[in-house]
Amino acid sequence: MNKIYLFIAICVLALQHVKATELDASVLLRYENETDQINLAPRKRVRMIAAVGVSSQLNDTWSFTAQARTGLKNKQNVPAITLYQITDQPAGDKDVYLTRLFASAKFDKLTILAGKVPWKTEQVTDLFWDRHLNPIGIHLNYDLGSGQALKFASFKPLDGASGTVGHMSIFQYQHEFSTQWGKLTLSPWLVDYRGESDALYAKKDTQYDNQFVRVAMKLKQGQWQFGADIGRSTKDVPMEVGEAFSDQKLSYAFELKHGNLKNNGNYLTQLRYLHVERFAVVTEFAQNATSRFATSNFKGWDLRIRHKVNKRLWVGGRLSRTQRLLGVAEQSVRFRLETKYTF
């Protein structure tokens, strides 16, 4: 992986010859109220996610992207920092760090990303992988034409700000086609994760090998879209996880969506139901936006509504209710009011 960074560093030195450079920045402010827990105290706070990035087009083929963001550098699926703690609890760290640094090349039908890359595999929700996590590796996308594509990724997930843990390989086939009910996209994929022990920060299931068969699908008709993420582990649950979880290998999420935020005055509404069994994901890397107490071994629903005020600003709210599937009972209600401004 050091070779990837060296390659990017050498290329960055050539940016004096760039064809075009774009800057982007955004700030999201959020009020959070988390209640109805069994074993956790209620929590109210005001949080912020701020990011600034630069993209440079070297020529018609090569480009380079870097982004810095707020969050917890040693727990990188937590992008927000606390500005004000309303309840009497620790506010946590306020880190700013480099979240993305990658080179991309676009050929005739092949697109390649290498470095600290964003997630590019098709998924309707973040049930399996939290999009705030940017691993170190490569992603390839090959356009087969006629709405078909092949995607391949090979990367090492991050363990804190600079270390890595384990290795993940992904192969996905994507097919878009028209039906009498609307535009249907099917994306079956295979995941192989090779675990590694002794992680310093990312310790949740990263020591276990796992393999998954997954499919993402969405059906779009006008302003409406129905989507689903479904997957199952093909590995036996390790004895260390516990006998009670021996058959807990299935995950699924269903989403009903209406609208978009393309134009001023638009509304976007998303309603999701999630069910994530204990060994159905790599717990460390799954999304954590819905449930306060877990990223696996839970079920619940999530409602989001956003309104596009103008070209740069949207406002919205979010309500999630989750509960633990097996083991010690736990539940949570998470309410948010948020607004995002893009510069």
CB 323 within 8 A of CB 9: no
Residue 92: which pLDDT band, with cuts at 50, 70 and 90? confident
The token duo for 123 is 């998924």
User: What's the CA gap between 280 and 286, in Å, rounded?
Assistant: 10
Average the pLDDT over 233-243 and give the result.
95
Give the residue-averaged pLDDT of 12-19: 56
Residue 143, beta-bridge partner list: 149
Taking residues 234-261, report their average pLDDT: 96
Is the CB of residue 174 less than 8 Å from the CB of residue 184? no
> What is the rounded distance in angstroms from the CA atom of residue 257 to the CA atom of residue 259?
7
**Residues 104-136 as b or e (16 or more Cβ within 10 Å = b):** beeeeeebbbbbbbbbebbbbbbbbbbebbbbb
| Total residue count of the chain as it appears in this document | 343
Among left, alpha and beta (phi > 0; psi -120 to 50; other), residue 36 is left
297 backbone φψ class: left, alpha, beta (φ>0; ψ -120 to 50): left
Q: Is the pTM of this model over 0.95?
A: no
Residue 124 falls in which region: left (phi positive, over 0), alpha (psi -120 to 50) or beta: alpha
Is the pLDDT assigned to residue 259 strictly greater than 70? yes
Residue 258 has pLDDT above 60, yes or no: yes
pLDDT at 3: 47
**pLDDT by residue (tens digit) across 95-127?**
999 999 999 999 999 999 999 999 999 999 999
The string of pLDDT tens digits covering residues 275-324 is 999 999 999 999 988 999 999 999 999 999 999 999 999 999 999 999 99
